[in-house]
Amino acid sequence: MRTFMHGAAVWDVACPQRPSRVDGLTMAGFRVHDLDALRMVPHPAVTLLLEFGAGSPVLDCAVGQQQRGSIVAGPGFGSGGTVRAWGENVECVQVRLSPVIARAVLDVAPADLDGAVVSLDDLWGREAPRIREQLANVSSWQDRFAFTDVLLARRYEAGPPVDAEVAWAWHRIIGSRGLVRVDELAAEVGWSRKRLWSRFRSQLGLPPKQAVKLVRFDHAAHRLVSGEHAAQVAADTGYADQSHLHRDVMGFTGVTPGTVADERFLAVDDIAWPSSGTPR
């Protein structure tokens, strides 16, 4: 376990010693005594948060609602910068699921989440509190990761796959860091643009153009966090100019590129997910 320090924030962060048996599934463990108004930055993955500590994380959502405890959030959740997380004595395993595998693991299509956050109790019923209890009774982080991996791998193997063409298009977007046109994707899989849009949206939870935009933003945001100048980031990541980058960052986070560069949500990634996520 490592300590992440960012301003007044001090978090304990644990990482699995072994990769998941499911391609597209990564996880990290967090212990935070005082989680103070963490801005949720959109990410190109489905987030599954499994909490088990003495406290409970709270999400203040854009519509004035709150969600407590274990949750599931669709890709791009937090767009607009209006979602905050807070809580005391929070302990959790955070899982990032590629949208390609999320439907099989969760038994619900990411499109059904509609960009919102859903309580795991509502989604999985009585299984959710049992998972919480089992994670709390495990003595080490590595055992928690192993338990979570077995649980999610079993669900994945029993769940429905997405279309091969949809999976290919998603991996193409990720591999290009968002530098691919939707027309090109449709031509490469041999589908019409309309068919790709429909299947992609229904199975992964967002349309292809938005996926391209989100992946490009995620890559650019991490470049900003690493200390690179906004003008250079814009030039390297496919934006027309620095103003274009500024508009995208504002749209996804509600703040400027300069402010995003100091976001704790992004800064912790190099510890929590050092060898995964959007390619740098």
Those residues with Cβ within 8 angstroms of residue 271's Cβ, 6 or more apart along the chain or in another chain: 2, 4, 13, 15
Is pLDDT of 126 > 70? yes
Please name the fold of domain 2-158: Jelly Rolls (2.60.120)
CA separation (Å) from 29 to 103, 199, 200, 228?
Answer: 23, 33, 31, 28
Average pLDDT over residues 181-200: 95
CA angle 98, 103, 109 (to 5 degrees): 110
Q: How confident is the model at residue 61 (pLDDT cuts 50, 70, 90)?
A: confident
Domain ranges of the chain: 2-158, 164-272
The CATH homologous superfamily of the domain defined by 164-272:
Homeodomain-like (1.10.10.60)
> What pLDDT sits at residue 184?
94
**Pairing of β 9-14 and β 46-51:** unpaired
CA distance 170 to 104: 16
pLDDT digits (tens, 9 = 90+) for 230-258: 999 999 999 999 999 999 999 999 999 99
pLDDT digits (tens, 9 = 90+) for 7-54: 888 999 999 999 999 999 999 999 999 998 899 999 999 999 999 989
Phi-psi sector, 266: left (phi>0), alpha (psi -120 to 50), beta: alpha
Q: What are the b/e assignments for 34-50, b being 16+ CB within 10 Å?
A: ebeebbbbbbbbbbbbb
